[in-house]
Amino acid sequence: MRTNNSNLLEMDAGSKPGIVVRRRWQQSTLTFLMVFGPGLIVMEADNDAGAVSTYVQAGGQYGLHLLWILLLLLPITYFVQEMVARLGIATGKGHAAMIYERFGKWWGRFSLFDLLAVNFLTLITEFAAISLALSAMGVSPSISVPLSAGGLILMVITGSYLRWERTVIVLCLLDLAWFVLAGLVHPSWGIVARNGFVPHFPPGRISSDLIFLIIAIVGTTIAPWQLFFQQSCVAEKRLRFADLKWARLDTLIGATFTVLVAGAMMIVGNYGREHGIVFEDPAQMARAMAPFAGHFMRNAILLMMVNAAVLGTTAISLASAWAYGEVRGWPHSLHKKLWEAPGFYAVYIGCVGTAAAIVLIPRMPLQLVIISVQVFAGLILPSAIIFLQLLLNDHALLGDRWVNRPWNNWINWSIIVVLFALSLLLAAQVMLPRLFN
Amino acid sequence: MQNSYSPESFRVVHPLQDKPESKCESEGLGPIEMTAGARISLRVLRCYLLLMSGMLLYHVLDLAAALHRLR
């Protein structure tokens, strides 16, 4: 059914679903908006509490000298996640299920166990950040942590993927506040541009601390759960072959936005450094900034820390629940009601609830958790990315249309080699610290 | 159905409301074909995981102070 004098026509009341439009650009825009979501969410959720801490710390220790690394990471994250989106669209299945089916039970179980372990440990750090940030605002952890866990559970049990997606997109867009904060500290934009585009190291000796901070930035920007999350999310949204170009654009926008937000975090960290603040976490920095930057800045940083942790928690828990559900053959979809997919929701609720409960344990050894995250991530990232690359070269599964082109393979193998080396170095630094002293 | 075209209008359908597409099917394919590239990649991955496990074991023993006792 079409109206006479409108370019954008309403929903057809007849049997055919969809919206009728008159112009091709309207069709493209609308299709893009319908496909938009998984790419932005997977990228922005990666700017989780750990990432805020790493980027702010990078700015706090080395000023704006490491901004260029973010620009370098933009194409890397895009290429990796583009492969994930392509595989998800081509197969309509999640990454864990594909590893199980094509590489056998041993590799399947190894990947699943490792993913669940690293995700769970990361969730503990997310809740620790929520507790830390809201404590700095005067809210007791015994209130803030259960309340956030409850909210995170409510977000997914509505039985609607689209409701969850829209809520999370709004949370992602809240990260625009980092640009406001970066603007409020009045950096020299010329220096920001120079540090962003010209690769260089901070003045002075290149220390092992600097090298490991750079590795941490890389590790923060490319996380193992992202591979599993986006493929499952694309399958959940039932993206079609024709949607691939829009899924690619979604991924590119997500990657660009994430890198820009990360840059804004470094600028805020640099502001703390310029005022002689020495800090170990963003909450400490926010509190120390209040006397000269004002309470708005302090509260905004603390709230953005909470937002980052909430985003990370929902995406990471869903990555676990989807992966486990796929492998067990359970119904695993946000389209289903709680009682229609009990196992899937139990994994999500179990992960969120247990991680929140652990954070409330007095004198919880958070440092041990952080070290374990790095070790497990060192195991799972190279494995997951190797499987991804091999699956994208699987002609029997994907046919000639969806497999990697030779140029894809060159780029991806180069990324894999670099990630292997960095993961190994990071794990070695954690487990054999004496080697680097 | 996807996004259909007629000379005067375009119909845009949300992926969740569209008819399901037949995807690349993995059922009945069995394990992935072990090309030389796949074999080498998995071998490198195994070596990497062994190395990581060795480092982890060393770290755990070190934390438990077992290495000091051996020395």
3-state SS, one letter per residue, for A54-107: HHHHHHHHHCCCCHHHHHHHHHHHHHHHHHHHHHHHHHCCCHHHHHHHHHHHHH
A398: chain B residues, CB-CB within 8 Å: 24
Question: For residue A435, is pLDDT > 90?
Answer: no
Q: Which of A204, A272, A309, A258 is nearest to A56 (CA)?
A: A272
Q: Say yes or no for a CB contact (<8 Å) between A397 and B45.
A: no
Please state, for a pLDDT cut of 90, what percent of chain A lies above it: 76
Instruction: Determine which of A20, A86, A373, A417 to mutate to test the interface with B (most B C-beta atoms within 10 Å).
Output: A20
Residue among A375, A379, A402 whose CB faces B49 most closely: A379
- As a whole number, mean pLDDT of residues A185-194 equals 96
Query: Does residue B49 register a pLDDT over 50?
Result: yes
Contact flag B11-A16 (C-beta cutoff 8 Å) = yes
Residue showing tokens 């006479």: A4
Q: Which of A382, A397, A431 sits opposite B59 (nearest CB)?
A: A431
Contact (CB<8Å) A102/B26: yes
Residue A24 contacts B, CB cutoff 8 Å: yes
Tell me the pTM: 0.92
CA of B13, closest CA in chain A: separation in Å? 4
Distance (Å, rounded) from C-alpha A369 to C-alpha A381? Answer: 18
Looking at residue A361, the DSSP 8-state letter turns out to be: S
Cross-chain residue pair A240–B51, CB shorter than 8 Å: no
Which residue(s) pair with A19 in the sheet?
Answer: A11, B12
Q: In what order do the strands lie in the sheet with B9-12?
A: A8-11, A19-21, B9-12, B5-6
Band (A8; pLDDT cuts 50, 70, 90): very low
Q: Which of A23, A104, A398 is closest, CB to CB, to B24?
A: A398
Put simply, the chain A residues between 213 and 252 with a CB less than 8 A from any chain B CB are 237-243
Q: Which residues in chain A (74-103) have CB-CB distances under 8 A to chain B?
A: 90-93, 98, 101-103
Distance between CA atoms of A86 and A250, rounded to whole angstroms? 12
Q: Measure CB to CB from residue B58 to each of A240, A386, A432 and give the nearest one.
A: A432
Asked if A364 is an interface residue toward chain B (Cβ–Cβ < 8 A), one would say: no
From the list A91, A378, A386, the residue facing B23 with the nearest CB is A91
A311 within 8 A of A171, measured Cβ to Cβ: yes
Set of chain B residues whose Cβ sits within 8 Å of the Cβ of A394 = 32-33
Collapse the DSSP code of A316 into the 3-class scheme (helix H, G, I; strand E, B; otherwise coil) and give the result. helix
Tokens representing residue A366 in the block: 């958070």
Question: Chain A: nearest CA to B53, how far in angstroms?
Answer: 9
Q: Tell whether A419 lies on the interface with B, counting CB pairs under 8 A.
A: no
Give the C-alpha separation, A104 to A98, whole Å. Answer: 9
* ipTM, interface predicted TM-score of the complex: 0.86
Nearest CB among B17, B51, B56 relative to A375 is that of B56
* CB-neighbour burial class of residue A82 (10 A; exposed 0-12, middle 13-18, buried 19+): buried
- A350 pLDDT exceeds 90? yes
Across the A:B interface, residue pairs with CB atoms under 8 Å apart total 130
Q: Do A238 and B18 touch (CB under 8 A)?
A: yes
B14 contacts on A by Cβ (under 8 Å): 17-18, 34
* A216 — pLDDT class (breaks 50, 70, 90): confident
Q: Contacts of residue B67 in chain A, CB cutoff 8 Å? A: none
Q: Which residue of A has its CA nearest to B60?
A: A431
> Domain map of chain B by residue range?
34-71
What separation in angstroms does the CA of A50 have from each of A44, A153, A223? 13, 21, 11
β-partners of residue B10 are A21, B5
> Which band of pLDDT confidence, cut at 50, 70 and 90, is reported for residue A6?
very low
DSSP A12: P
Taking an 8 Å cut-off on Cβ atoms, the answer to whether A428 and B55 are in contact is: yes
Would you state the pLDDT for residue A220? Answer: 84
The pLDDT tens digits for A66-101 are: 999 999 999 999 999 999 999 999 999 999 999 999
Exposed (0-12), middle (13-18) or buried (19+): which is A422, by Cβ within 10 Å?
buried
Work out the pLDDT band at A204, boundaries 50, 70, 90: confident
**pLDDT band at A280, cuts 50/70/90?**
confident
Average pLDDT, chain A: 91
Distance CA B71, CA A168 (A): 54
H or E element at residue A167 = helix A161-174
Q: How far apart are CA A339 and CA A159, in angstroms?
A: 10
Share of chain A above pLDDT 70, in %: 95
A165 contacts A45 by C-beta, under 8 angstroms: no
B68 to chain A, minimum CA–CA distance in Å?
A: 14
Nearest to B15 among A27, A240, A390 (CB): A240
| pLDDT at B24 > cutoff 60 | yes
For residue A229, give the 3-state DSSP assignment: helix
Q: pLDDT class for A289, splitting at 50, 70, 90?
A: very high
Residue B36 — pLDDT band, cuts 50, 70, 90?
Answer: very high
C-beta neighbour count of A435 within 10 angstroms: 10
Question: Using CA atoms, how far apart are residues A155 and A300, in angstroms rounded to an integer?
Answer: 23
- Please tell me the number of Cα atoms within 13 Å of A24 on its side-chain side: 2
